[in-house]
Amino acid sequence: MTAPHDQLFFTRLARIHRLYAKALSKRLAPHGVNPGYLEILHSLWTRDNVTQKQLHSTLDIEQATLSNTLTRMERDELLERTRNSKDRRVTQILLTHKGHSLQNVVNSAIENLQSIVNTGLTINDRRYFNRILTQMTEHIEDDLDDTTLLLIDEIQD
């Protein structure tokens, strides 16, 4: 049986995630940016004019989610998709001027929220917390990569 403090940990982790996303959304909404766009924007700010397949390989997003998000980003005029002139079957994804111009705004919003989140925390607190999150993430990734599945209904001596 799961201990109550373990359930509380999951609840608290989910709550901070929701609050962080809500606070970030509040900062980005006036600029027409959805927090769901950020991972894609950061990737395109690093390397623009890529295919959807190339973009997908750099992200931790399901293909269907990526496709839907790109459609919304195109609607919001943050990017455009154009056919490759040499191979019409290939579609290139390019940031628009608006998409490029949002980089400083987005980074400022993230930095502002991060300074609020870090209020009262020492550099050692932040480093320790990041190390713990990294270890927990690795443990979950290892668990997901584990091909063995063991189901035990009950163990008796």
93 burial via Cβ count (<10 Å: 0-12, 13-18, 19+)? buried
What are the Cα distances from residue 30, in Å, to 33, 34, 71, 142, 143?
8, 10, 20, 39, 40
**What is the CATH topology of the domain spanning 9-142?**
Arc Repressor Mutant, subunit A (1.10.10)
Tens digit of pLDDT at every position of the chain (157 positions): 556 666 788 899 999 999 999 999 999 999 999 999 999 999 999 998 999 999 999 998 999 999 999 999 999 999 999 988 888 888 899 999 999 999 999 999 999 999 999 999 999 999 999 999 999 999 999 988 887 765 555 455 5
